[in-house]
Each structure stands twice: as C-alpha cells, then as structure tokens.
Structure 1
Amino acid sequence: MAVQGLSIGGSKSPKIDYLIIGAGVIGLSTAYHIKRENPDSRVVVVEKNPGPGMGDTSRSAAMFRVFFSSRVNVILAKSSVDFYEHVEKRLGWDLGMRYLGYLFLVDEEELRALRPALDAAERLGGSYRIIDRDILSKQGFRVDLSGDGEALLMGLPNIEAGIFIPRAGTLDPDSLVRFYEASFRSLGGEVIYNTGVERIVLGPRKPLEIPGEPFAWQDIEAKGVETSSGYIEAGFILVAAGAWTRSLLEPIGIDPVVNPKKRQIFVIRASTKELSDLLNTRGYNEHNILPFTILPRRIYIKPEARERSFWVGLSDDIGRPYRLEEDPKPEDSFYRYSIYPVLSKYLPQFAETYPETMWAGHYDMNPLDGQPVIFRVGNIGVAAGTSGSGIMKADAIGRIAASMALEKEEAELFDGTRIKVEVFGLNRRDIDRERIIL
C-alpha cells in the first residue's frame, strides 16, 4: 500500500523530503549535512544492514592523507581531515585518528617521474621528505635485489628512495560513521535499518491515471522505493550505496559511471622478533611505529600497533573484473601468489608468514578520473565513485552532495572553501587528474 512517507508496518507518516539509500560514511555524511542546512525537512536514511557502516565502509583500511598534485583532491581531503580534527579536538568525539605518515618506496625511474607532481603537491600546501635508501636498509627494507634471480625474473626493481608524507594516517571508520549517525539523529534525522532497497519506483510527474503509465511522452520522476519491508515514498532520492549504486540506477536508465571492484585485506600477526621490530620502526611518527607503507608493485602495509599486526593488501586492476558480490570473499590464493612473492622479497621478515584472518569488500570505482561522481537527474541524486578514498574525503563529499540535493550551485566546505557542485557531475565535470597514485 503506497502512502505518504512510509508504509512499513502499515502506519501512515508524514512525507519524506529526502531519502538517502545507504548508511555508509557517504550516505550518513550527506544526510547529516542536508539536515544541518535544512532543519525543517524530513530526512530519512534507509539501510539493508542492521547498523551504520556495515557494508564496505567497515571493510576499509581507513587511511587518509593530505598530499596530492590535484587541486580538487587537496580541497576534498584537507577540508575533510580538518573537520575530523575538529570533531576530535573540539567536539570530543574519538575518531581514532593517528598520524602515522605514508612511506612510498620507489625506484630511480619512478622517483624522477614523480618529481614534478611532488613539486605541484608542495605548491598546494603539502609537505614530504625523501628517505635515503641506506636508512631504509637499516630499517629492514631490502633495497637491492640485483643479485636475486627470482626478483629479476619477476621484474622487481631496486628501491632508490622513500617518499615520506607526514600529514597522513588512519582513523576508525566505525567511530566516524557513528559520529555522523548520532549527529544526524540529534537534528531529528531518521535511520531505518534491516531494510534493503529493491528498486526505485518511477511515475509520471502529473498522473493521468492511465494503466501502464509512466509513458515515454510523460515527464517521469522517482516516486519512492520498494524495499524488503514495504514501500517508501519520498520527494527526493539520493543513491549513496557505494558498490550497489549501479544495480539500483541502471534498471531505471541512469548510468552512474561507477562500477564495483573487489578489494581484499590480509592480516599478519607480528609474531616474530623481526616482524615486531619492523612494526616498531622509529623516526617517522610520535607513535614510533612503521608508517603506512607502499612497496613497488603497489602492495601496501598498514601497521596495527594495538593488534600487533600488519594489514596487507593490493589494489589490482587489470585481471580483476568489475563485479558486484553480495558477500565478497577473500582469496587465499591472491595473497599466496600475487602479494607474498613481492612482500617477502622487499621485507624478508615476512618469509613463511601467512594471514591469520582476511576479508574482502568493494571499491566503487570511477574509471574516468578516480574522483567522486555527484549529480542529479530530476529528483534522483547520485553520490558515488569514491574509488577507495571515501573515508578521507567523506565530509567534503557529504557537503557537496547535500548542496546538490538542496539545488545549490555551490557547496561550502568545513574550511570555508567554496566549490561548484557541477564540477563533480558528468556534463560539466572539471577535475584535474591526480599524478601521485599510491
């Protein structure tokens, strides 16, 4: 039975002005900022999981940095990280922020190629320093593979230097989504859990009560959504469903550009003295632990000091299909044959070590430029395509998506920066390409 607002349970309620699909970090950030800017509106978030951030947000490595060659990247990341610092220091909400730094290990050719991009990032306010290969060697990295036949066969380069980025680190994704959820609810926002959206329902803007409408000659709009618990009617529907975005929009003729791709994390316990010493690498941060480290071939290592472990992963592209998996499973063979051979060459401390646990999630990938896609078609909005950087940019994305939903031309970010919403759309997109891909 279709009623104003919710028909879940059969009870009638006031019409929903803004319905957000997805209670991940992007959906909740957007919902909060819509409600903050338009407090008299009724804003509802609907989520298939039993709690916030239980989709791909919770499966993220949850890293952030404020060092990019792209002006747009700097704007999004800096304003978001500034806001997270404000939440911790001024609002007293512990987000688990820790500045570990990023350590990007490069060969001679890559270092030379990156110099112009590093200079561009400095001009945009970023800072970095070069770590000499002799220092890296003393810290346990194997920088010279020239005498290793297997490494030669694999095409692994020697490490020439490390690029260390200090304003970078990690935070707790669960704390972040719970902050947005609590802040949203405190303003009168509503969240409906355990309710999956099955489809967006279209109808004519001016119904003529003709069987079979809407027809192509009518003005068509979204009327609401069919869910696992009933029908929800809303004036505006925003899809912030991450990897599930395409599955909701493609059936109604909207191409969101983004596609899901599986990503995996493998957890290795620092169970030996050699691994423990590596975890406790000094000289980079106040915590005296290894920075977030990216090896050649893009294998990353995230230290987890409290767990005494390392999170290891690799964002593979060619050969990894764009595919939505309702419950993605990690592949032991991916670690054994794609990660371990490289990891153990550059860091022999990992020899004969295998994950004690592992999990998988998705990136919602934007193959155009790796930046978020934020646009509307009539009364349907899209906020997706974060391509693995959703957490580090979530506050800025939420403010921009809220401005789009509220039909504003510009969004004002936390640090006062103003940016046009259309920059992130499809028709007038204007985003400079990032040259520092870690």
Structure 2
Amino acid sequence: MKNRTYDVIIIGGGIMGASTAYHLMKADASLKVIVIERDQSYERASTTLSMVNARIQFSLKENVQISQYAFKVLENFEDEMAVDGVKPAIFYRREGNLFLYDEKTESPARRAFEMQKELGCAIEWWSPDTIKKRYPIYENLDGIVGGTFGPEDGHFDAYAVLMGYRAKAKSMGAEFIQDDVVELLTDKDIMDSSSTGQKGHVNKIQGVKTATGDIYNSSAVVNCTGAWAASLLATAGIKIPVNPVKRQVFAVSPEFKLDSPLPLTVLPSGFYFRTETGGLLLLGKSMDDDPEGFDFTWEEERFELLWGELYEFAPIFESLKLIKGWAGLYAVNRLDANAILGEWPELGGLYLANGFSGHGLQQGPAVGRYMTELILKQKHILDLSIFSPERIIEKRAIFEDGIV
C-alpha cells in the first residue's frame, strides 16, 4: 500500500483537472502535483463526449468573461502547449453561433446582447430578414423575432485540447496516475483512528484514499470529478446539488449537401445543430425527461424527435441518414446550472470545480487558472467569487437570464 504526500492532489483528469495541473505547474514549477483519474482512456469523460462549443453568448457577465479568456487561450493553444517541438492539433473552427429568439425570450436576449457589447465581444443582432438572407435554408422563422450571431464562437477537438493540457502539465512535472478515489480523508479520520480514540471536528482536508487502498496526503485537494462529484464529496459528509444527467448527440448525413458550414444554431426550444466535418450534421437537445444516473446508452428513438424539429425549421433536410449517436453526462447543478468554484467553507483545503451543467469544456482554461490562484493565494486575474460554494450552503442562486 502506498502512502505519499503531495502539495496538491487533483481528483479527475478531464479538462478541469488537466487545466488546473498545467496552471499550477506554470505558476510554481517546484510544486509536487498529482492528478488521479479513474480511467485514462477517457471513454466516458464528459470532456471527450461533448459536442464541443466555445461562445461568449451568456447573460451572466462572469460567464462571458470566462469565454473571452478561453478564446484567447484557444487562439494560441497549439504553440503554448508544444512539448519538445510537438504541437497538438486542436482544429479550432470559428464558424459562429446563432441563437434564435421568440417574443418570450427577446427581452433578456437584448439585455445580454448589450452587456456583451459593453464587454467588447464580437456580437451581432440579426433581424429575421438578415437570418433568412444569410441562411436561406432556414425557411421557417415563424415566431422568430431575431437572433444573436457570435462570429468568433466556434468549436474544436476536445480530446486534443485535453491531451494538450495533460502532456504539457506532465512535461512540467505534474504526475498523472490511473486509480479511483473512493474517500476524502479529513482531520476527523486521523483523530478517530488514533490510539487515543479522541474525536475531532471535521475542518481540514488531509488527503484521499483510492480503490487500491493507497493513501495520498495533502492539505490541498481539488475535486474535478464532473458528474461523479457529489458521490465523492458525500464521503466527507458534504452535499451539493449536482446530479449526473444523460445528454445525447446524433450525427446524421443529409441528402442535401451544403456549400459552406452552418453555425451552431440554437432554436428557442433549446434544439441545436451544427455542421461537422465530412458533410455531417450534429443534432442535440436537453429534454426535461433526460434521465439521471450513470447511463451511457444512446436511444435511437430520440433521434426521431430531433429530426422532426429540424425538418420543421429547415425542410431541405427532409432526408437524413443516421450515422451514429452517443450519450455523455452533464454534471447539472440543480440550484442554478452554474459552476461551483472555490474552497468548501466547512472543510479547509478542499477545493471544488464542479456543477458546470454543460458549459465546462469552454470554461476549463479560466477555471484552471482561478483554482491555481485560490490554492496559491494569488491575486485573481478574473474574479469568479460569484460562483463560490457559499451560495450552495445558503441556497443563493445565480441564473442565466433566458439563454441556454
């Protein structure tokens, strides 16, 4: 049985864990950092199963600023993450995002649009006529009063970005291992197991225990376990309202072939689609009856619902061939669908980067930097304290206003 000590333990090696490891090593190369990931194939990681998107179209200022930083990182990512002259290829495509609004969603969308402009974002308000002119195949705009187009929004290869962060962090000295953390260890655990049998109050993290029985000690532990976050925190008596929810994506080949890519287009119903390489379309939608739990089976019958909505909006896609589909997990924060970032108030040294509710991939760069600043007590470049865990205890929600 191993018993080792580290400056920082990161649980979960997806985008949040890998980004945090990279930023820690960049800030202080002398740190002893370990990332413990249950499956280094990332077969079921939300990072790699994402439909992948980066956008500034949020109504919460801090979410917009997080994405602004992500844009800068992605623009230079391949050069910054080069290891021994080898650069990752992330295929960053800025094909835009188009959000469509009806009368019900127009007012909050216009407020968000003005805020985004004030922050210096590339954002445009399109009338229905402009939408029809730019994308004539969008034939049915009944009920659509306008849309916002972010020309710098886009998508990229999520696996390549993850591997880029991981490889760079390892080259800088971070250690990555495969194991399953099954318990958070606190000062209470140590006192309870002492020869005196004295009971202690839980107020500081001491380390973690894995499924193999190994103990890793540290006064700084970061929970980056995504959809598994709540179950791990429960081992230390901590409850957060984060549930694993299945989301599905379908890749189809339309009989009608496009001359140029379509932006990620989001209808007021929440249905979305975009083009993908190889002449494919990707379709998705979060639904009220999406099941909770660790279920990765994809249901072909769901495709019929999505196809019907696409056909109604753009009848030119009447004939589609289903190529494949897949299911991944959103770590849904049931309080307000926003991230939980920071040190848990009742357990010193335990840091949470959880509850991203589908926005996590694009928030990885800023979150990794922010967690590093918290752990090392550095001044924040971007203040993200609005997402602090205190609001979970106080049930103080912060909502996006009318934007998916």
TM-score (norm 2): 0.87
- Deviation digits for residues 117-163 of structure 1, max 9, x if unmatched? 2222211212333444345446212225xxxxxxxxxxxx5334343
- Deviation digits for residues 233-292 of structure 1, max 9, x if unmatched? 22122110000001101232112332221111011013x1x2x13xx3xxxxxxx31111
Per the alignment, residue 299 of structure 2 pairs with: 331
Amino acid at match of 2:304: R
**3-state SS of 2:161 partner:** helix
CA distance in 2, matches of 1:54, 1:209: 36
Amino acid at match of 1:314: K
From the superposition, tell whether residues 71 and 211 of structure 1 become closer, same or farther in structure 2 (CA, over 3 Å).
Answer: same
Q: Retained in 1: the 8 A contact 2:125–2:149?
A: yes
Within-5 A mapping of 1:159-198: 159-193=144-178, 195-198=179-182
- Deviation digits for residues 357-413 of structure 1, max 9, x if unmatched? 11111111223333221122223221111111111111110111122233x26433x
Q: Post-superposition shift, 1:63?
A: 0.5
From the superposition, tell whether residues 205 and 250 of structure 1 become closer, same or farther in structure 2 (CA, over 3 Å).
Answer: closer
Gaps of 5+ in 2: none
CA distance in 2, matches of 1:205, 1:243: 25
Q: Retained in 2: the 8 A contact 1:202–1:214?
A: no
CA RMSD across the alignment: 2.7
- Deviation digits for residues 92-117 of structure 1, max 9, x if unmatched? 54321110001122334533552222
1:102 corresponds to 2:102: no
Per the alignment, residue 151 of structure 1 pairs with: none
Q: Post-superposition shift, 1:164?
A: 1.6
- Deviation digits for residues 146-189 of structure 1, max 9, x if unmatched? xxxxxxxxxxx533434321120001111111111111111111
CA distance in 2, matches of 1:436, 1:385: 19
Per the alignment, residue 401 of structure 1 pairs with: 371
Within-5 A mapping of 1:84-233: 84-88=74-78, 93-134=88-129, 136-137=131-132, 139-143=136-140, 158-193=143-178, 195-204=179-188, 207=191, 210=194, 215=199, 217-219=200-202, 221-233=204-216
Amino acid at match of 2:161: L
Amino acid at match of 1:292: L
Q: Retained in 2: the 8 A contact 1:203–1:214?
A: no
- Deviation digits for residues 326-378 of structure 1, max 9, x if unmatched? x51112222223x2222211122333535221111111122333322112222
Within-5 A mapping of 1:183-332: 183-193=168-178, 195-204=179-188, 207=191, 210=194, 215=199, 217-219=200-202, 221-235=204-218, 236-270=220-254, 272=255, 274=256, 276-277=257-258, 280=259, 288-304=260-276, 306-316=277-287, 318-321=288-291, 323-325=292-294, 327-332=295-300
**3-state SS of 2:390 partner:** coil
Larger radius of gyration: 1
Q: Post-superposition shift, 1:54?
A: 5.2
CA distance in 1, matches of 2:323, 2:197: 55
Q: Retained in 1: the 8 A contact 2:113–2:125?
A: no
Q: Retained in 2: the 8 A contact 1:34–1:402?
A: yes
CA distance in 1, matches of 2:231, 2:323: 33
**3-state SS of 1:41 partner:** coil
CA distance in 2, matches of 1:209, 1:114: 56
**3-state SS of 1:229 partner:** coil
CA distance in 2, matches of 1:264, 1:218: 43
Per the alignment, residue 35 of structure 1 pairs with: 25
Within-5 A mapping of 1:17-96: 17-51=7-41, 55-88=45-78, 93-96=88-91
Q: Post-superposition shift, 1:53?
A: 7.7
Per the alignment, residue 4 of structure 1 pairs with: 3
**3-state SS of 1:103 partner:** strand
TM-score (norm 1): 0.81
From the superposition, tell whether residues 89 and 206 of structure 1 become closer, same or farther in structure 2 (CA, over 3 Å).
Answer: closer
CA distance in 1, matches of 2:47, 2:31: 27
